[in-house]
Amino acid sequence: MKLIIVEICFFLQIPLTWYLFKKFAKRNVLGQLMAGTMLGAFNEFATQPLWNYHLKINIYKDTPLCIVLGWGVMFTVVTFISEKLYCFFLKKEKIEDGDKRIFIFDVFAGSLFSFPMETILLKLGVWDYRYDLLNWNWGEIPFFKMPLEALFGYCLFMLIGPSFVRYWGKYFNGDSK
Any residues with CB less than 8 A from the CB of 44 and at least 6 apart, and which? 60, 63, 67, 68, 71
DSSP-derived 3-state class of residue 63: strand
Amino acid, res. 39: L
Tell me: the pLDDT tens digits for 30-53? 999 999 999 999 999 999 999 999
Residues of the chain with pLDDT > 90, as a percent, come to 94
Task: Report the pLDDT value the prediction gives residue 2, as an integer from 0 to 100.
Answer: 87
Task: Report the pLDDT value the prediction gives residue 151, as an integer from 0 to 100.
Answer: 96
Tell me: the pLDDT tens digits for 60-110? 999 999 999 999 999 999 999 999 999 999 999 999 999 999 999 999 999
> Given a cut of 80, is residue 125 above it in pLDDT?
yes
DSSP-derived 3-state class of residue 141: strand
Better-predicted residue by pLDDT, 175 or 56: 56
> Given a cut of 70, is residue 177 above it in pLDDT?
no
Query: How many CB atoms within 10 Å of residue 176?
Result: 10
Tell me the torsion sign for CA atoms 73, 40, 47, 154: negative
Yes or no: say if 168 and 124 are a contact pair by the CB < 8 Å rule. Answer: no
Alpha carbons 146 and 150: distance in angstroms, whole number: 7
Give the closest residue to 99 by CA, choosing from 83, 112, 77, 111.
Answer: 83
Tell me: the pLDDT tens digits for 2-36? 899 999 999 999 999 999 999 999 999 999 999 99
Yes or no: say if 40 and 72 are a contact pair by the CB < 8 Å rule. Answer: yes
What average pLDDT does this structure show over 143-163? 95
